[in-house]
Every structure is written in structure tokens, then in C-alpha cells.
Amino acid sequence: MEPNQSFVNFTEKNTLKIALVGNPNSGKSTLFNALTGLNQKTGNFPGVTVDKKIGTARLTDQVTADFIDLPGTYSLYPKSLDERVAFDVLCNENNAEHPDVTIIVADASNLKRNLFLVSQIIDLKIPVILALNMMDMVEKEGDAIDLVRLSERLGVKVVGLSARNKNGIEELKRALLQPLPVPSYDFIDIKKIAPEIIERIKSVQKVKSDFAAFQLANNLDESLLVGQKNTEANKIADALNTLVIDKNKLQALESVERYKVINRIVEECITRKPGLRVKSVTQKLDGILTHRVWGYVIFLTILFFIFQTIFFLAAYPMDWIEALFVTLSDWATHALPQGELTNLLVNGILAGLSGVVVFVPQIALLFTFIAILEDTGYMARVSFIMDKMMRKFGLNGRSVIPLISGVACAVPAIMSARTISNWKERMITIMVTPLMSCSARLPVYTLLISLVVPHDKNNGFFNYQGLILMALYLIGFMAAIGAALVMKWILKAREKSYFIMELPVYRTPQWRTVGLTIVDKVKMFLVDAGKIIVAVSIILWFLTSHAPGNKFADIEKKYNDPKLAGYMVPAQLKAMASSEKLEASYAGMLGRAIEPAIAPLGFDWKIGISLITSFAAREVFVGTMATIYSAGDAGNTLSIRDKMRAEINPKTGLPKFSIAVGFSLLLFYAFAMQCMSTLAIVYRETKNIKWPLLQFFYMGAMAYLASLLVYQLLK
């Protein structure tokens, strides 16, 4: 440290605001989880739809830290909205998220590349701590990093740690409570690159460093100056209006100067193990997992295993949950006084909740596998091996990330397409990603598959339910790349694309991180989807429990006729009355109105109501069917699957949900755009209403034609 270096001390503050920033795959999120555990919440950064994770941790009895996990970035030159967030938070003191301290998480095993971002943040002259993560991997290679010398050269506090093993976490916390040096010298002399630009900006804008002024010039776009008043942005623009600024040239010159210094620091601070390097485990595995043939075979095998396991393991807890809700409904029906409130509780709220909670085991299993594949580093390899194939369909390897993410949810998947620099490839990715089967479709798939394929139907090890589920996911993927091929010839653009992706080393899964991911995703499903499903269920309860005029009274009078009692038992009369009431209700009237349009697909008015409500969220289908069929089950003694399985088609005398109807409905949900949130995010990302409208109609046409074809062939 320099003798005249200044220090800041935050021990007098009760709450510290701390930002975590670093390159992708530097272990930043693992460190965030190690520091905060379950004390996390997720929201959006103000003004943008980028996920913001905030977690709390107690440093002492008096001091609490609020950690903000910033999106990964390679530099302070925003190329995507995610990277822009990091720029806005760190470079703009007026930003509400601007931290007291910034922890820069760097991959110690790839220090040279990581030091580029480190050096830029140091030049902002803000209090920072450099957390050198993955020190265990450096030691494993036999190398050594002189942390004391590195701290002296950078002028900041350096802490070595291994977030996955929780080594060094306590030392990092202690460092936050000690006086922190504020970088006092420039990593590079940025004034040599753009002296006039920096002087002009400093004459109209107060900044902490020459580099902060340089950044303002390079990111003058007003949309990047979050928190800046328009008048301040205009002053900067006016000060620079007579200068010709070549941003690409300035950034290239800066990069060259930074790497000159970085190369010297790396030579001084890292001692390499002498001798030849043995081929690493990662290199050996990549020879197999990224093979041009075996790579695809292994990926399909992994998918097969996942979907087989989802059906096999989830069956038991799903049965327990169904039995629990049947018991609760039966108890409420007999224990509570008859009336509207009891009817609402049983046929509205409990029926809706059962349609949410019963699928938690499968949602948890799906995200368990996704989290494991991501945490091991395998997902990045999938993108790599798919790049060559994707280009034939107007996409590139970077498009694979949104497509794979679409298996979880289309909304963040579409947002992740911002990393694709080529306009045409980005638009195609956005337009086809919703065809990937998301987790919202999973409850629909599993319910319908269980109706048309018995759970004990198998061929030795192969469970047919799991095979059909995997086939639906593959159909979604094939439909996505097929639609992409069509759009490749429709959309015109002259931009050339490129694909650069860093492949992280393979690691054993961090089970704590996997667990936190599962808890977060299940909570999101229960809360976000649950709110919609229960709200729609309550509305549907009203629509199924009420009818215009005296229709319900007339039906009651009809089935209370003593003459009918001689032909049927009371239970039959009650069931027939309930069924006729449902058909006469407001919901029944709505379903009857659209039935002619969907009858060629094998759908009746009950399914029609579910199709309409599914536009709020696809998984609402299950809650809707639960509510509708609860109205016809006066005793509430059956689960939703049993109710649907027991329904008979009055025209054929066979089960209503036959193979033809089941597969027709499965394909409709595989293709149809039934998600208002996705349409809203497509509009937000494209800034043009024509794209979500086009998406809605082309996916709807695919769904209708596929269902029509399958039903007519199988019926």
C-alpha cells in the first residue's frame, strides 16, 4: 500500500450495502449463497426486468450486511442489459443500489482475464475488496499466488478463498469490518488516451477519477445514465459536441494498455509449477462430452434419464398430496355448515390449491436436475456442441442458452437473448423460445399423460409415461428449430454473427447451491403461479356456482321430484343435478359458446373454459379442471385425476379422455402461446406490438392444426 493512501471505515454503520461483481463463471453466485444462505429475496432492478438478488448476513452483533448479487460482466462496457446493470450500479453514485463496498469476485485459476474487470473497477476509485475465488484449484495445479504482493500492486485488499468449500468466508467478513484502502493511483494513465475528452467532462461533471470521466464519454447514451438528470446528460453532450469520438478505438487502446500492466502483475505474483502440464480432468471429459457424435448421444441419454426419473420418483409424493387434499375437502364438506362460504372453500380455494401443490414434487425434481447440470459446468458444453447445428437454422450457440432456459420459464429465457448481438438471430431466438416446453406446461403434461397412459405401463426399465414426456420436450425443440428455419428466410439482415463462450471447469455440484435453487424455484411456483391459479379458481367457482335467473332453482325442483326417487338412488340424483347445474352456469354458457370451434379437436366446453383461463398461465389448466370437476363431485371424494378419468363421453359410452383427446390436448399445449407474461415480455424486448401478435397467431395456428390432425387420425 502507498504511504499516503486513504482508508474508509464502515464500522460506525449498522447496515452495509455490499455489491458482488465479477466475470461469469467466477463463482460469484456461490459466494453470494455462502455469505447469505436462505436470507435472500429476488426482485428486479429499478427500471429493468433483470433479476436482482439481495441477501443479508450479520457481520457482528451490531453490523448487518446487505449483499447485492450483480449480473456477471467481463467489463464496464455494457454490451447487454445484464452488463448495463453492473455499469449503472458501480459507475453512478446517484443510483439507489450504489454500494458502500464492492467485492470483486475473480477466478484465481484464470487471473489474467479476470484482472481486466478488476482494474477497471479499481480506476473508479471506490472501496473494493478483491476476493480471489477457487484458490483450491490453483493449489491443485501446483501453482501459487502471492496475495500480499498482488494487494500491493493493485492497492486494494485481497482475500483468497474457495466459496464452494467455504474456505476464507470468515476472513472476507472480517475484512469488511476493517479500514479499507481506497485506490489512490490509476491502474493505467487513461488521460494519455483521451486527454481532451476527460478534461471537458470534468469541467461540467463532478467525478471521482479520470476513468469515471472516460466511462461517461463511452456510455453517453442517456439510457445508460440511470439516475442522472437529463440536464446533466445534456451538459456532457454539449461539452463533447465538437469532438469526434471513436468509441471502439478508445476501448481498444484502453484494453491494450490494461493488458500490458496485467501481464506484468501476473508475472510478478504467480509462481507456476515447473514441468509439463498433465491433461486435466476437464480436458479429458470434454474429449467425450463435446464429441461431434457422442456429445449428442450423451445429451439425449441424460434427458431420457431425467424424464424417466421425474415420473418414477414424483409419483409417490403426488399420490400423498392428492390423498391429503381429498381428505381435507371431505372433512370440510361434512364438518362445516352448508352454504356459500363452505362451497367457496371446498370447490374454489382447496380445489385451486390442490392443482398447485400436487405438482411441487415434479417441479422440484426438474429444477434439481437443471441446477445440477448448470453447477457442474455441463450446460455450457451443451451450448458449445449445439452451435454448429443452430447456425443451419438461423441461430447460433448463444441461442441455446435461452432455448434451454425456456424449459424452466420463457420469460427470463427471452430476456437472456439480450446477450445475442446479431439482431436477426436475437429476434428468431425470441420468437421460437416459447415453443420449448416450460415448467408451466409440466403440470398439464403430467396430468394428461397419467389419464391416457397407466402408470404401470412399462417395458422393463422404460416407463412409457416418461418416454411420452421426453417426446413432448423434444417435439417442442424440433418445432422451435423448424420455426427458426422458416424465419431465417423471412427475416433479412446483413450483420455477421459470432459465438464466443467460456467453458468453465467441471466441478462436483454444490449441494447447498442446488438446494437454494430448488427452494427459490418452488417458492416462485407456489407464490407466483399459485396466486394466479387460486384467483382464477375463485372466479371460476363463482361462474360454476351461479347461473342467470332461476335456472339452478328449476334444476333443483326437477331432481327433487318424488317420481325420480323411484328410479334412482339419491347419490345418482345429486350427481346428475350437479352436472346439469354446471352446464347451466355462467361457466357452462361460456364453454358452450366456444365449443363449436374446438369440437373438431375433440374438446368439449369444459376443456374450452380451461383453454381460455390458461392464457393467464398454462398451469391454470389444472386448477380450472379441478374447480370445474369439483362442481360435479358433490361428496368431494375423488382427486382431480380420478374425476377426469371417470368421465364418460355420452355419445360413445367410452372414457371422455381417450388417447385421441389426450394427445390432441397435449399437442395443443405443446404449441399454443398461452402465457400473457411471455407476450408482454416479447413486446418489451422488441418494442413493437407486431412481434407478440405474430407469435400468438403462428403458435396458435400450429397448435390448432397439430391437434386437429392428431385427433382425426386417432379417434
- Tens of pLDDT, residues 203-249: 887 888 888 888 887 776 543 444 444 566 677 777 677 677 777 88
What gap in Å lies between CA 397 and CA 382, rounded to an integer? 9
User: Which phi and psi (to 5°) does residue 90 adopt?
Assistant: -85, -35
Q: What is the pLDDT of residue 3?
A: 46
Torsion of CA 571, 576, 582, 584, to 10 degrees: -140
Same domain, 57 and 103: yes
Same domain, 561 and 459: no
Same domain, 300 and 261: no
Same domain, 464 and 549: no
The residue among 446, 473, 490 that closes a domain is 490
Tell whether the model's pLDDT for residue 642 goes beyond 90.
Answer: no
pLDDT tens digits, residue range 515-548?
877 887 787 767 766 676 677 777 877 887 788 8
pLDDT tens digits, residue range 457-492?
666 556 778 888 888 988 998 999 999 999 988 887
- Residue 1 pLDDT class (50, 70, 90 cuts): very low
Do the domain assignments include residue 667? yes
Nearest by Cα to 250 from 287, 292, 196, 302: 196
Q: Half-sphere exposure of 597 toward its Cβ, with a 13 Å CA cutoff?
A: 11
Same domain, 96 and 148: yes
Task: Specify the 3-state DSSP secondary structure of 107.
Answer: strand
Alpha carbon 657 to its chain's center: 33
Q: What is the pLDDT of residue 224?
A: 41
List all residues 6 or more positions away from 616 whose beta carbon is below 8 Å from its beta carbon.
Answer: 532, 536, 676
The residue among 444, 463, 490 that closes a domain is 490
Do the domain assignments include residue 374? yes
Same domain, 460 and 569: no
Task: Specify the 3-state DSSP secondary structure of 144.
Answer: strand
The residue among 464, 490, 516 that closes a domain is 490
Q: What is the pLDDT of residue 317?
A: 86
Measured between alpha carbons, how far is residue 222 from residues 98, 99, 231, 238, 383 in Å?
Answer: 18, 22, 11, 13, 34
Same domain, 85 and 188: yes
Same domain, 695 and 584: yes
Task: Specify the 3-state DSSP secondary structure of 103.
Answer: strand
What gap in Å lies between CA 251 and CA 257, rounded to an integer? 10
Mean pLDDT of 320-328: 84
Tell whether the model's pLDDT for residue 616 goes beyond 70.
Answer: no
Nearest by Cα to 624 from 435, 323, 276, 348: 348
User: Which phi and psi (to 5°) does residue 14 adopt?
Assistant: -80, -30
Please report, for the domain that includes residue 173, its CATH number: 3.40.50.300
Q: Are 621 and 640 in contact (CB under 8 A)?
A: no
Mean pLDDT of 163-187: 87
Chain-wide mean pLDDT for the chain? 80
Residue numbers of the domain that contains 315: 294-490
Q: How many residues does the chain have?
A: 715
Same domain, 16 and 163: yes
Do the domain assignments include residue 497? no
Do the domain assignments include residue 201? no
Q: Are 633 and 354 in contact (CB under 8 A)?
A: no
Do the domain assignments include residue 219? no
Do the domain assignments include residue 175? yes
Mean pLDDT of 636-661: 77
User: How many domains are contained in the chain?
Assistant: 3
Tell whether the model's pLDDT for residue 351 goes beyond 50.
Answer: yes
Same domain, 307 and 393: yes
Nearest by Cα to 176 from 70, 29, 31: 31
Neighbours of 260 (CB within 10 A): 10
Enclosing H/E stretch for 462 = strand 462-463
Mean pLDDT of 443-461: 75
Do the domain assignments include residue 504? no
Same domain, 309 and 360: yes
Q: What is the pLDDT of residue 46?
A: 46
In degrees, rounded to 5, the angle at the alpha carbon of residue 576 between the alpha carbons of residues 572 and 577 is 115
DSSP state of 648: B
Same domain, 553 and 591: yes
Three state DSSP letters for 37-77: CCCEEEEECCCCCCEEEEEEEECCCCCEEEEEECCCCCCCC
Do the domain assignments include residue 503? no
pLDDT tens digits, residue range 137-161?
888 877 899 999 999 999 999 999 9
Which of 35-39, 566-570, 646-650 shows the lowest per-residue confidence on average (mean pLDDT)?
Answer: 566-570
Amino acid, single-letter form, for residue 262: I
What's the pTM?
0.63
Neighbours of 287 (CB within 10 A): 11
Under the phi-then-psi rule, with left for phi > 0, alpha for psi from -120 to 50, and beta for the rest, what region is 377? left
297 versus 615: the higher-pLDDT residue is: 297
